Amino acid sequence: MGADLARFVPGRVSTEVDARLAYDTQGIVRKVHELLKLYNELEVSSQGLLFKIPSTWQGIEASRLLELEGIQTHLTFVYRYMQLANKSSFSNITGIC
């Protein structure tokens, strides 16, 4: 469905990473790479994609690592604003929801 939307929707399409990976930094990074590979196989440009990641410490770190690779992310399910504000201030995350 994301591939279909990405072809017709102007701007970016958000793809949510499985919340069960919320406490697994490397698991989140691997999953995003898997999703990017699937999108690539369907000839969808990564420029139009945004990956939605849980805002646990591990998710924030995964977002930081992915953003360093040029993969756009945004965080969701923020339960403790101070936890997020302290870490995200230096991690160059595309967005916070």
Predicted pLDDT at 11 = 78
Question: What is the rounded CA–CA span in Å between residue 27 and residue 32?
Answer: 9
Please report which confidence band the pLDDT of residue 31 belongs to, taking 50, 70 and 90 as the band edges. Answer: very high
Domains detected in the chain? 11-96 (3.20.20.70)
Residue type, 70: G
Of 31, 37, 52, 87, which one is the catalytic site residue? 52
Q: Are 78 and 84 in contact (CB under 8 A)?
A: yes
In the structure, what pLDDT confidence band is assigned to residue 1 with cuts at 50, 70 and 90? low
Please give the share of the chain, as a percent, with pLDDT higher than 90: 47
Per-residue pLDDT averaged across 39-57, rounded?
Answer: 89
Residue 13: is its pLDDT beyond 90?
no
The model carries a pTM of: 0.75
Catalytic residue list contains 87: no
